[in-house]
């Protein structure tokens, strides 16, 4: 899995039927030793993460092992919110 920070919601009115009702969030990955260099992805949010929160992301076919998305064309999902008191340093 990867750690990321939720940057924003994303709006896509014209999309695959199976994504209708899915909460799609833009996340910047925190996976590089240098700050702010992580890639920007979009993940389905199943946990209720807010903008600015650090989240745990699962990618690939495993992302479809989430309730309701077994047959949907998704490849990234938020599977957890990282506890506030987990200091930034520990991620480096």
Q: Enumerate binding residues for its own copies (CB under 8 A).
A: 1-3, 7-8, 10-16, 18-19, 24, 26, 28, 30-33, 36-43, 46-48, 56, 58-66, 71-77, 79-83, 85-86, 90-92
The two tokens of residue 69 are: 């998305």
Q: Are 54 and 81 in contact (CB under 8 A)?
A: yes
| Beta carbon of residue 39, minimum distance to its own copies (angstroms, whole number) | 5
| Beta carbon of residue 10, minimum distance to its own copies (angstroms, whole number) | 6
> CA–CA separation, 92 vs 77, rounded Å?
23
Count CA atoms within 13 Å of residue 60 on its CB side.
Answer: 3
| Beta carbon of residue 12, minimum distance to its own copies (angstroms, whole number) | 4
Judged by beta carbon, residue 46 or residue 52, the one nearer its own copies is 46
| φ and ψ at residue 33, rounded to 5 degrees | -60, -35
């Amino acid at each position: 899995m990867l750690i990321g920070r939720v940057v924003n919601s994303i709006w896509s009115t014209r999309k695959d039927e199976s994504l209708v009702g899915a909460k799609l969030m833009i996340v910047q990955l925190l996976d590089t030793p240098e700050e702010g260099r992580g890639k920007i992805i979009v993940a389905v949010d199943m946990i209720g993460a807010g903008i600015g929160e650090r989240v745990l992301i699962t990618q690939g076919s495993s992302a479809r092992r989430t309730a309701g998305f077994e047959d949907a064309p998704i490849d990234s999902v938020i599977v957890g919110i990282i506890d506030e008191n987990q200091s930034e340093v520990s991620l480096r």
